[in-house]
Structure 1
Amino acid sequence: MVNYEKKPKMLHLILLAWIAVAYILSAIDPFDRLAWFGQMTSAVLFVLLLVAMYHRFRFSTFAYLMVFLHVLLLLYGAHYTYSHNPLFNYFQEQFDWQRNYFDRVGHFAQGFVPAFLLKEFFVRGGYVKKGKVLWLIVILSCLGLSAAYELSEFALVKILDVPADFVMGTQGDYFDSHWDMLWALIGASTATIIFGSFHDKQMAKMEKHID
């Protein structure tokens, strides 16, 4: 495994501190406390996993910036719930949409951001070489994570015995879970194919600082 300097980068600590602030703000008078707890849990687990990995496998600063933005999105969504996001309520009224589409943005990010992390882990960990096979593995891995998230929501509905819309935010769309996974697939494909070269440069910068 790659060795790193024990001292964390100041920017990484600042991002972590801002996430803590965002978490506190998200917890203040959310739209629904139970929904907030369920939707913010993934953000908290995401951050805790990266913190636990930090001294054993450190991602590029670019990847951490993407995670920072993703966590802010998750905490923002948890505060208002994905079905009652005020910004997208406004868009819904202005453009006569049939539903609040904030969840589509959230699930795009669910594929977009993990794609960068998975790519770095596979390549810099020496598990997969760069190439089209790597693209396929990253995209399918992201799609698998999205499916796992949908299954976890399904499990909560059954365990808590509550309406599906309460947990899953289907807003009356029977194909909501399918749309969620599709947008995660689009997000992962965008990160891997369109932003692949840019990400490679960010990983190259990271490798210059490896002992």
Structure 2
Amino acid sequence: MNDRNFHLCLLVSLIGILIWSVIHPKDLFTWFLEVFPAVIGGTILIFIYPKFRFTNLVYFLIWIHAIILIVGGHYTYAEMPLFNWFKDIFHLTRNYYDRLGHFAQGFIPAMIIREILLRNRVLKKGKWLFCIVVSMCLAISATYELLEFTVALLTGTAAEAFLGTQGDIWDTQWDMLFALWGAITALLVLGKYHDYSLRSSHKS
């Protein structure tokens, strides 16, 4: 499968999942809030596609992140069935799907930012690249928490499912910590493979 067909498969499958998600979601307002970033991000990627294409690795990671957001929008992060099952089986205190979402919020943007910085020759591989990518991911996470805070102030109890705190007073701090772990994990685990993907993409 060539790159274009691979990208098209990702897009078509994502549109199908998006259509499924809007059919009888648990809460339509929460669905909109959760899915909106994925729709905006996808629109931007389509718009810049003729001029700037990411590696297949990054496109695949973005696809995964979008699915996490869309599924969270359909069920809400506090009521995702699979993670409710985990909660019951392992006697957990909460549904941890939101933790997965915030881990991804660090993991996937780390690879996107890394690729943008390297391909535009803003930074070279090394400690500064690692530090700045992680810092930018933390900034994204903090900005998202401020966005949730703003939505909660403006809409009151209507944003309760969007916040997904599940009674945890430290939920915001845990969210940012998981995003931090996600960013660090991505760079340590996928850094070398990402370098290989960049070289392969440049040759083609």
User: What is the TM-score with the length of structure 2 in the denominator?
Assistant: 0.95
Task: Choose the corresponding residue for 1:11, options 6, 24, 33.
Answer: 6
Match of 2:147 in 1: 152
| Pairing of 1:5-84 with structure 2 (within 5 A) | 9-84=4-79
Q: Deviations over 1:31-74 (max 9, x none)?
A: 11111111111111121121122122210011101111111111
Q: Could you tell me the percent identity over the aligned residues?
A: 42
SS at match of 2:125: coil
What code does the residue aligned with 1:110 have? Q
Question: Do 1:135 and 1:193's aligned partners in 2 also have CA atoms closer than 8 Å?
Answer: no
Give unmatched runs, 5+ long, in structure 2: none
Paired residue total: 203
SS at match of 1:195: helix
Task: Choose the corresponding residue for 2:83, options 88, 91, 98.
Answer: 88
Match of 1:201 in 2: 196
Match of 1:104 in 2: 99
Q: Which has the higher helix share?
A: 2
For 2:56 and 2:86, the matched residues in 1 are separated by: 33
For 2:67 and 2:77, the matched residues in 1 are separated by: 13
| Pairing of 1:160-179 with structure 2 (within 5 A) | 160-162=155-157, 165-179=160-174
What code does the residue aligned with 1:54 have? Y
Match of 1:131 in 2: 126
Cα distance change, pair 82–73 in 1 and its aligned pair in 2 (3 A): same
For 1:46 and 1:148, the matched residues in 2 are separated by: 16
For 1:125 and 1:77, the matched residues in 2 are separated by: 33
SS at match of 2:54: coil
For 2:83 and 2:161, the matched residues in 1 are separated by: 18
CA drift of 1:129 comes to 1.1
Match of 1:142 in 2: 137
